[in-house]
Structure formats: C-alpha cells, structure tokens
Chain A
Amino acid sequence: MPEPAHSFMLTIHVNGVERQVQVDARTTLLDALRDRLHLTGTKKGCALGQCGACTVLLEDRRVVSCLMLAVMAEGKQVTTIEGLARGEELHPVQAAFVEHDAFQCGYCTPGQIMSAVGAIKEGRARSDDEIREQMSGNLCRCGAYTNIVAAVRDAAAQGG
C-alpha cells in the first residue's frame, strides 16, 4: 500500500491493549477502529455526529468517535464494545440488553451500550426520566427505546 499523504503512526490504548495504528490526518477515530484495527463492533450510522452508533468511551467519557480525529486519541485510553465482556461473561449492561430485548437489528446497540455504561458511571442514570434524557443521543430506528430504558435501569441498579 503506497504511503498515504499526511500519514501518522499513532499509539492508542484500546480496551487496555496498546495498539499501533497508521492513519491519515483525516482519519476519524471511528474509521481507525473499524477499518484499521478491525474492531467493527463500533458502528457507523451517520458519520455526522447525529446518531450515536459510534459511541465509545475516551478516558471514561462518552464520545461520538465519528466526530473525533484518530490523531486526537493519541496516547489515550479508548474503550469499545469489544472491551466490556470478561471472556464469555457479559458486562451487566450487555446482559440486561439481552434480557430486556433492548434491540432488534442490533446496529445501534454497541453505541447504546457504551452510552449506558458511560451514563451509569457518571451517576446519570438515577431515574427513568434521566435515562431517557441521557440516552436520547443514541437513535434506534427499530424503536427499542422503552426496552433500552428497562435494561439501563436494571443494570444501573446492579451497579452497572
């Protein structure tokens, strides 16, 4: 592959593992994850910061990875959906999503789950109203919203 113009070698800590990744200055964190590191659990729904499908945690903060350049993540800790489960054991939010059928097609789901994990960590999932508000940046066209609220409520109660 010819050397792309303005290319950089970055170090990003993804799910606790130090990864080297060659990116273009224009590469988003989302495309770096999906196309360079083949961590395709993080989804692209709009690439415009409007749907939340690409949500990951950057140093424990929720970010839409399509609006962040990969170079901005240099040296940082990124947690993606692939980094939640411990082996076969699902993270409580993941387990609650399965139990409450909080998805249909599953395409918005990784983003929903990362948002929920972030919101619970921030202490912003204390009531159904708050969960609905905090989760409203994550669109679900299959309309699983009420099940998502039930799942997040459950996971938050277990300390998520």
Chain B
Amino acid sequence: MNAIIGQPVNRVDGPAKVTGHATYAAEFDLPGLAYAVMVLATIPRGHIRSIDRMAAEQAPGVLAVMTHEDAPRLAYKPIAQRPQVDAQSGEQLHVLQDPEVRFNGEPVAVVIAETLEQAVHAADLVQVEYARSPALTIFDATKGRPPSEGNVKAGRVPELGRGEVEAAMAAAPVRISARYVHPREHHNAIEPHVTIAHWEGENLTLYDKTQWVDNDRKEIAHVFGMEEERIRVISPFVGGAFGSALRTWPHVTLAAMAAKRVGRPVRLELTRRQLYMSVGFRPHSEQHLTLGATPEGKLVALEHEVVQQVGRYEEYAETALSPTSHLYQCDNLWARYRLVEMDTNSPCPMRAPGVVTGVLGLEMAMDELATELGLDPLELRLRNYAEQDQQKGLPWSSKELRACYAAAAERFGWSRRKPEPRSMREGGMLVGYGMATAIYHSDRSAGSASVALTGNGMAVVRSAASDMGPGTYTSMTQVAAETLGLPVSHVRFELGDTNLPFAPVHGGSITMASMGNAIVAACQAVQKKLAGLARAAQNGPFAGLPEEAIAAREGGLGRADGSGPVVPYAELLRQHNLGWVEAEGSAQPGEETQKYSSAAFGAIFVEVRVDEALGTVRVPRMVGAYDVGRVINPKTARSQCIGGMVGGLGMALEEQAEWDIRFGKVMNANLAEYLVPVNADVPSLEAIFVPNDDRNFNPLGVKGLAEVAICGVAPAIANAVYHATGRRIRRLPITPERLLS
C-alpha cells in the first residue's frame, strides 16, 4: 500500500471551489427567503430615548421592523461551563432586550423585507434618538486590571513567574527594556458573516458561517431556551474566519428572531462595515519587556507585562504570557497580564490569539538584546534554547526547533548578513535581514466520527468538523483512505452539520490532532465490525477464525499471517447481503498532557528593502521552517504557512483599526482604508517542514499548524527593518509616516 498520509494530494473540494459550486452559508436557496438588515447604534454608550420606525414600516416590501420595544424576551439561560471560544467572564450581549447601548455598533433594530434592496433602504429610515452617557473610549495602559475569576480559571492568569526575578535583574550585567504597541486588528475574512434562519414549527435550521456547528447549536439553544435537538446547524463551507466564527455572535440570534417574526426563512448578512463592530477583533495591546543577560548572552531574568483592551459587558482575555513562560531557558521570570476596559464590542480570538502578541514582544526584545550584546540574533536564541518547558517542569513531547533554525537559516542565506545595521544596500535601497522564533502550544480535544463502508466500494466518513480553509476535507480524507487502505477517490468526507458525530471546535490548530485520531478510530471500528461479521459467518474465507487472525489490509480484510487473498470490503458486504456497514469511533486526550508539554515551533527569516526617501518597506522574500509534527498533506500545509506569512506581513506593515475616541468607533471600517496585503506585496514565500512525528502527543504524530504559521512573522519583519535602517519602530504597523518621523 502506498502511503497517502504525507502526499501532496490536491484538495478534494478543489473542483467545487473553482467552479463556484461550493455552497457557503449565504447561498442556500430557500423558497420564500426574506432579507434582514441591522440598524446599529451610533453612540458609544447611553440609551435609546425613542425609535421612530413608521417610515421604515411603511416602506415598500417591508415585512417587519423589530426593536427592543417589541422583540421577544429571550431566555439567555446561563451555560454552566462556557465553551472555551466564549469570553470566560461577564455576560454576552443580549440583543434587542433593553434600551441600553453598550458600544457603538450594538444592534438597535432589524428590518426584514422581501428584497435586500428594500431592507437596506428601510433600515436607513429608522430614526433613533439617543441619550449619551460618558463612555470609556481611550486606551490607558495604566488603568489595567487583572482578569476576573472565570478567565483565571480558564488559564488567563494575572501573573506567572519563577525564581527571584528582582535580584537577578538587578545583578544582570546586560539589560534592555522596551515597550511595544500593537493596534486592534480585524479578521476580515473575505466571506462576510451571514446566517439564514429557517423555522419549521418549533424546529430551527441555521445555515451559518461557523467554525463549530455543535457549539452554534448549543449557544442558540441557551439563548432561546429550547432543546438542542430542535436545532440543526449546517455549514459545509466557510469562507475564511481566522477565529471570528468560533463563537456565536448576536446576529445569529437576530436572524432566528427575525425568521420567527415573519414566519419565513430569513437571511441576515453583515456588511463589510458592520463586521468591524459585530464579530470581534484582535485587541489593542501594549507590552513592556525587560531582559537581563550575561555578557555571553545567557538570559538571567525576564520581565514581561501585557496590557490589552477588553469590552465592558463581557471579558475576553488571552494567553499572551504563554510564550514568555517557556520559549527560552531562563530561571528568573515574572510576567503580568492586565485588561483595560473600554466601551467597544467584545474582542475575540484571531489567529494565534494572545500567543502572536506575546511572541511579538518577546522576539522584538530578543533582537534588541542581541544588538546590545553584539551577538548574532540567531546565536542568541540558540544560547537560550529551552530543552524543556521550564514553567510546567515537563519535557517537550517533541521539539525540532534547532532543525528549524538550521534549515531556514541555510535556505535563506543568513550567513550573508552583515551584523551592522545600515550596512547592506542594493539599488538605492537599504537591505535588512531579520529573524524570529515561532511557537504555539499544541492541544487536542475529544471528537468522534463515523465511517460507512458501502457496497460500491466507497467509504463515507462523517463528523461535525469544519473547514475554514486549511483543508480539513482533504487531510481527513487522506487519513481515512490510508487507514482503510482505499484510494483517496474512494473516500468521501462530510462535515459541517450537527446531524453528524460530535467534533470539537475548528480552531487553535487542534483539528488534525483531535479529529484525525477520531477518524483513525472510526475506520478501525468499522474494520473490526466487518471482521466480526465475517468471523461469525457460516462460511466464507474468515468463518470461525479468532479475532486476532484477521487484519485489515489493502482495502479489505485478510489473514493476519498474510496467507490467502485480501477480500475487498465491498465483496465482504456482498457475501453478507449487506448494503453497507457503519461504525463510530472517537479519540480524546490522554495522560500525555500530564507527562509532556506540546508545541509546534518555527523559525522565520525575512529580507526587507527600505526606501528611506519614501519610508516604504517591501518584503521581497520570507523563509520559514516549521516543526509541526507529522505533515499529513505538504501541499495544503504549505498553503497554511504562506498564508500565515501573509497575515504576519499585514500585522507588521499594514493592518490597524483607526479608532476615533470621540465616537468609540473604527473609522476605517472597510477594505480600502483598513489595509491588508495584496498580491504585489509578497513575491517569494518559502515553507520548509523539518521531519518529525510526535507520537508522544498523539497516535497520528501531528501537532498543529495554522497558528504557529503567523507567530514570529511580524517581529522578524520589524527586526529586519531595524537591521536595514538602524531604527527600532516599536509601534506596529511600520508605516511610512512612522519610518519618516
């Protein structure tokens, strides 16, 4: 049997995507579909004095206008254990339940009409009068407070540390200290968030953009106080999300309310501008680091404080201290995490939440330390290589970071770097080389899958997983094909439907480590079931054999000793007059979490070209090497890595929400003014996977990939800009005006 795992298989859903036949949430064609449009608050805090809805109600095509005055009071039943994708403290936004306004952009009305044009027009006619209250719209890092109990319990600790940091810092022969600022960033997946809600009696179907159908169902069940069994969520294709579709946002509730009100299926699609106030963002952060070292470059003390913005009605916090706690060997460490309350919609996870922020500060500070010491930045990392997770006191389940450094440095040509800043030039441009380390902790969660072997030789594998782009459809198909011994073309993987076996969230890079192992288990379960039937039969090749005498081989069953032919699954089904045979399997984390610390690693090297007259930074090439454990599909894995590089480039040079403190509002809420990378920004990106197979972490040996791919990119670029120009820009993004000032 040729290995299928590890092959660069083309995406199995590729043809559907390139022909326009992949159906995303907005595209389900339901008879009688009506269109809902939200009206959003225009003040940052206060309450609604009055709403004049007359003109909207009388506008052509309008079916209903709903405000807090007439919206049904919803149950909003508390959830005993909030899912990890939700804010862990405070209370989610209760939509249209009272006249309060908690942030600029909170929904205050929804208009439902026969057509989208009619709904958009009527939404404009709704007149809202507000009474403004004083609002918190300014980020003041000195006003930080520790996270609340719920967040602390979920691992967002206010402080962590080890050793005697004060004494060690005071005694450190070399010290650097710096503050870094990173603005609010928005996911801006190209597909907007959208929900179609369809009630049939007391049963609700949601066609939704979500990274977790099971949780979507659970959340809406709690909001409406209904049984989960009455809700079905369908989400076969997700047009990118990067964390914004992990949790269930208020517009999903609004869509369901609207559909109930008009007694028809209703689609509610957020506009690009509305997305900036409706579905979370990466919070603004400021961080302060002090590093103490010996003249040889051994870290002796490390202090790191991260302060982030948070909404006031609920508290979303991140694990921004995690990289500092274990990326380098350092006996004395103190780190602190604080939140600054602001009147804003709630932030939420965005690709490598918290970690990307912590890595940014730490890796820029390490570069400053290297400069102070006169050491090569890569050498400094090697001198502080963490052989174990010092904070947890556990060995790594695997760590090939040294190999990452070596492979990427070699491929990049790091040895050609002249140490002095401003020492490299080409064609009138300053040239800079920079590097950084990437890390993202590897997790897995319980999940399950079913496999049906059918009489026509196909295997149908099902799980309520999601594919927002990394290639879940393809990689899971490969895992099943290899386990069953079938070609990829004979396996079909179905996902994105609450009617399928439970899957964990599609986020945090856990999908393959969680679902991959569940699929292996399901494949083995169905093989076992078929073997059981064959053994129990009156006759046939396996009749009466003991269990251990039969083994799955080459798309069928054979004798474990290798004698005799392999009987294909379909043939066995025929022998037993069966149309199909089906079994479920599941996998969950085990004791490895007690024995090891697990993480994916990477090393990123970049070249920048700076035009000093214009202040522009171009990035002609980036090379990343990654230890992500076993790679199921190098083609789609590479796409994730280059995608992470592009995201990191945006973070370093382009992306920032322009926040107006008068209105508590993002002023550049569109894709022309909130800059994201375009094709001409990224000429050459290379990704290398160093060999690894982390069986200590899980049987499949995978670690996870999506998040680590964005970590380290922005600091590598910032460090390269320093090398090119001799200037440390500590406030991202590094825009021309900052470089020129």
Contact = CB atoms under 8 A, between A and B. Distances in A.
A1 B32 CA distance: 9
Contacts of A107: 24, 189-191, 239-240
B18 A109 contact: yes
Interface string A119-146: 0000000001001110111111111111
B10 interface: yes
Contacts of B20: 39-42, 80-82, 110
A24 B272 CA distance: 22
A144 B1 CA distance: 32
Contacts of A106: 13, 16-18, 22, 237, 239, 469
B682 interface: yes
Instruction: State which size class the interface on A falls in.
Output: 35 or more
A21 interface: no
Nearest to B187: A141
A24 B117 contact: yes
Contact of A38 (B29, B117, B640, B671): B29
Contact of A98 (B11, B192, B238): B11
B614 interface: no
A131 B679 CA distance: 9
B679 A138 contact: yes
Contacts, number: 199
Given A98-B14, A105-B240, A143-B647, A43 B679 contact: no
Contacts of B671: 45-46, 48, 50-51, 139
A117 to B, nearest CB: 12
B60 A4 contact: yes
A13 interface: no
Interface in B1-53: 10-11, 13-24, 26-27, 29
Given A110-B20, A141-B240, A101 B638 contact: yes
Given A105-B190, A146-B642, A141 B676 contact: yes
Nearest to B649: A143
A39 B60 CA distance: 26
Given A2-B61, A84-B19, A147-B639, A53 B670 contact: no
B271 interface: yes
A2 B240 CA distance: 36
Contacts of A103: 17-18, 469
Contacts of A136: 678-680
A135 B679 contact: yes
Interface string B97-128: 00000000000000000111110110000000
A65 interface: no
Main secondary structure of the interface of A (DSSP, over half): loop
Contacts of B272: 45-48, 50-51
B502 interface: no
A97 B238 CA distance: 18
A4 B672 CA distance: 32
Given A53-B190, A106-B13, A107-B191, A145 B682 contact: yes
B676 A104 contact: no
A149 interface: yes
Contact of B190 (A24, A38, A45, A98): A45
Nearest to A36: B115
Nearest to B685: A146
B643 interface: yes
B11 to A, nearest CB: 7
Interface string B47-70: 000000000000011000000000
A96 B212 CA distance: 31
B677 A143 contact: yes
A90 interface: yes
Contacts of B678: 136-137, 139, 145
Contacts of A81: 18-20
Interface string A51-73: 10100000000000000000000
B115, B188, B272, B677 interface centre (most CB from chain A within 10 Å): B115
B680 A4 contact: no
Nearest to A46: B272
Contact of B114 (A4, A41, A133): A4
Nearest to B22: A106
B231 interface: no
Interface in B459-483: 468-471
B60 A5 contact: yes
A99 B14 CA distance: 9
B643 A142 contact: yes
Given A4-B115, A143-B647, A90 B19 contact: yes
B114 A140 contact: no
Given A2-B114, A105-B240, A50 B679 contact: no
Given A133-B680, A143-B646, A145-B677, A105 B19 contact: no
Interface string B241-271: 1100000000000000000000000000101
A44 interface: yes
Nearest to B271: A47
A24 B21 CA distance: 26
Nearest to B33: A35
B682 A146 contact: yes
Nearest to B120: A26
Given A107-B191, A141-B240, 12 more contacts: A1-B114, A24-B117, A45-B192, A46-B272, A47-B271, A48-B272, A48-B670, A81-B18, A82-B19, A103-B17, A106-B18, A107-B239
Of all A-B residue pairs in the complex, the 4 with the closest CB atoms, nearest first, are: A41-B20, A143-B646, A107-B239, A106-B17
Interface of A: 1-2, 4-5, 24, 26-27, 31, 34-35, 38-48, 50-51, 53, 80-82, 84-85, 90, 94-95, 97-99, 101, 103-110, 113, 128, 131-133, 135-149
23 contacts: A4-B114, A4-B117, A5-B60, A41-B20, A48-B671, A50-B672, A81-B18, A94-B18, A98-B15, A101-B11, A101-B14, A101-B635, A104-B471, A105-B190, A132-B683, A139-B190, A140-B679, A143-B645, A144-B642, A145-B642, A145-B646, A145-B682, A146-B642
